[in-house]
Amino acid sequence: AVVVVGFRTSNPSGYGRLIEKGGKLIAIREEKDCTDEEKKITFCNGGLMAVAGKHALQLLDQVGNDNAKGEYYLTDIVEIAGGQGFDVVAAEAGFEDVLGINNRAELAAAEGIWQTRRRREAMLSGVSLIAPETVFFSYDTEIGADTIVEPNVWFGPGVTIATGARIHAFSHIEGATIASDCDVGPFARLRPGADLRQKAKVGNFCEVKQATVEAGAKVNHLTYIGDARVGAGANIGAGTITCNYDGYSKFFTDIGEGAFVGSNSSLVAPVTIGKGGYVASGSVITESVPDDALAFGRARQRTLPGKGKELRERFAAAAAARKKG
């Protein structure tokens, strides 16, 4: 009539005890109501109970609140059913499958169990985890065989990785799609909407958000790509930024196939860099660049001979005067 799922533990503190007699379950006793002898029982309530439908309502009607907490315990059904001659039994499950979670420390312990299982599952499916204990998955992470994940990588919700990718150390990835043979990190951040196509590269200290990096394109280092498309085979130099937000709205940057954006450039959206376009290093680009065009967006350099020495002498004298004062 009633089946209860229980588990055994060397530390039963806080759990209701399953009290058996002659192979039958006769009661579930909450810890506050246990005698000293009952507290020594290590067979505990796992929190799952099945009650035969034809008996359920009349058993529920008899549940009272005569206990240390003055609460109505569903678990009293066990003793009530046994008292009416019904068969009541306990089925044993593994501790990890039914452990209780009452605080943040226990939640973290349960998460640790799940992560250990998920890491093993990934490795058995052909994923290489260099330091498994430092890699953290989400419930929906999909990762293909022959992918290599280096230490200290965090996968948030919504990540899909195809086969043969390499995720370097200290990368943070969520809401992203990574195609086969891509190379990510180290210290890369892929935010929701990041879509890396085959053999794309997002290198160290780069951030990609709501943007597509097409096949073979490279975003190598110290770069932000947001609300953008980086065309196939394009190369984005170090320190490049897509300026996609004006404080009120987001705007799109379109970088064409085979384009080259020099280091330390700012692309002020909305703007288009045409196929094969070339942006000189240090440029601020506010107008679209046609296919195969070269764009400069920086002040012209001036060199004044001897002026550096003069400035140093002037600054040193001013510092010395302040020190005396």
Phi, psi of 121 (to 5 degrees): -60, -45
Residues 56, 80: contact at Cβ < 8 Å? Answer: no
Closest alpha carbon to 83 in 62, 65, 104: 62
d(CA 87, CA 52): 11
Is residue 42 packed enough to be buried (19+ CB in 10 Å), middle (13-18) or exposed (0-12)? middle
Residues 269, 253: contact at Cβ < 8 Å? Answer: yes
d(CA 231, CA 104): 45
In sequence order, the β-bridge partners of residue 235 are 218, 260
d(CA 128, CA 178): 16
Q: How many CB atoms lie within 10 A of CB 212?
A: 18
> Is 221 noted as a catalytic residue in this protein?
yes
Token couple for 193 = 């909407």
The distance in angstroms from the start CA to the end CA of the chain is: 94
At residue 201's C-alpha, the angle toward residues 198 and 202, to 5°, is: 130
Q: How many CB atoms lie within 10 A of CB 108?
A: 10
What residue type is assigned to position 74 of the chain? Answer: L
Token couple for 94 = 């593994």
Where on the phi/psi map is residue 46: left (φ > 0), alpha (ψ -120 to 50), or beta?
Answer: alpha
The side-by-side arrangement of strands in the sheet containing 24-29 is 24-29, 17-21, 43-51, 2-8, 88-92
Positions annotated as catalytic residues are: 221
